[in-house]
Amino acid sequence: MKQLWLFKQINSDLQRVEKELTKFVATDYPILQDSAVHLLAAGGKRLRPAFTLLAGKFYGYSLEKLMPVAMALELIHMSSLVHDDVVDASMTRRGRPTVKANWGNIVSVQTGDYLLAKSLILIAKIDHPEVARILAEISVEMCQGEIQQIKCSFDVEQNLKQYYYRIKRKTALLISACCKIGALVSGAPQQQVWALGAYGHSLGMAFQIVDDVLDITAKPSEFGKPIGGDLRQGIMTLPMILALQLSQEPSRLKALLGKTEKTDDEVAETIELIKTTGAIDESMQLVDLYVQKAKKHLQNLPQVPTRKALEELAEFIRVRKF
């Protein structure tokens, strides 16, 4: 797990979450055990547990209360990643082979289902009436977002409204839930719960746009997976939609984006065409707007060290390379 210096307030608690996750997914079924542990060992930034714990810092912080929440949210996220790797035919994630690459589609789907089922066990233990409802509704919307993405594959006529619909459900809703539920379980006042949820939503939108930009501009060694994945899968992201609007000669770009099978040379050509339109800079300007919006929501929260950490985390999301 990549520990960010921004998590210094909660690093020791995040490490405890990591240990509990490893114990919790353990099973007597060897293939399921190996695939689940492999996924955990691949690490990641653990942003969702971190947001949950940081949100809990504003009021009555209790790791005992927040632990099942942080674990459940990470398991929901991980289950979605395993299923995504099957749909996207991804063979690497964060520089390591995916569960799909090592065990195939059937084991991958069952591993994702297992992790989701384990999250339900944790959710049932959370002593707050709103938590199960929030997570159930968000899980439904996440599935709707994925179906919409599959339905719109290679559709070069997509607009910004459709794009925002997808990334809200793909990323922003779960990050918002982490912040909101972390505050709820800690007994924060309703105004703080709302402000943290709104912060998480704006930051989640920024996070996904940056991810879509990095898929075009990043170094694969830093990004943790090959670039151009969205292009190959026909996922129309913000830089692509803007590039079609900004291009002086969009016909070639449109033809490449709509092509279901692309050679490596065609992927490279598409990336260069997108870069020349200025769409990357336009996309990052929208990231800046979402980051500023997220930080504005924090103004409704008490002036405590955690608020500064969340402001710095918003800035990190904007400039991250992985």
HEC assignment per residue over 53-100: HHHHCCCCCCHHHHHHHHHHHHHHHHHHHHHHHHHHCCCEECCEECHH
If we measure between CA atoms, which residue out of 88, 80, 73, 22 comes closest to residue 225? 88
Q: What is the DSSP letter of 136?
A: H
pLDDT band at 83 (very low <50, low <70, confident <90, very high): confident
Tokens of 239: 């830089």
Mean pLDDT in the chain?
91
pLDDT at 35: 92
pLDDT digits (tens, 9 = 90+) for 40-53: 887 677 889 999 99
pLDDT at 5: 62
Residue 90 pLDDT > 90, yes or no? no
pLDDT band at 129 (very low <50, low <70, confident <90, very high): confident
pLDDT at 2: 44
Mean pLDDT within 116-131: 93
Residue 4 pLDDT > 60, yes or no? no
Other Cβ atoms within 10 Å of 27 Cβ, number: 14
pLDDT digits (tens, 9 = 90+) for 155-180: 999 999 999 999 999 999 999 999 99
**pTM value?**
0.92
Domains of the chain: 5-319 (1.10.600.10)
pLDDT above 90 covers what percent of the chain? 75
SS3 content of the chain, % helix, strand, coil (to 5): 75, 0, 25
pLDDT at 3: 45
Q: Which region, left, alpha or beta, applies to residue 90 given φ > 0 means left and ψ of -120 to 50 means alpha? A: beta
Amino acid at 250: P
Sign of CA dihedral 290, 291, 294, 296: negative
Residue 17 pLDDT > 80, yes or no? yes
pLDDT digits (tens, 9 = 90+) for 20-31: 999 999 999 999
pLDDT at 45: 75
pLDDT at 222: 67
pLDDT digits (tens, 9 = 90+) for 251-288: 999 999 999 999 999 999 999 999 999 999 999 999 99
Angle at 95 between CA 106 and CA 6, to 5 degrees: 115
Residue 227 pLDDT > 90, yes or no? no
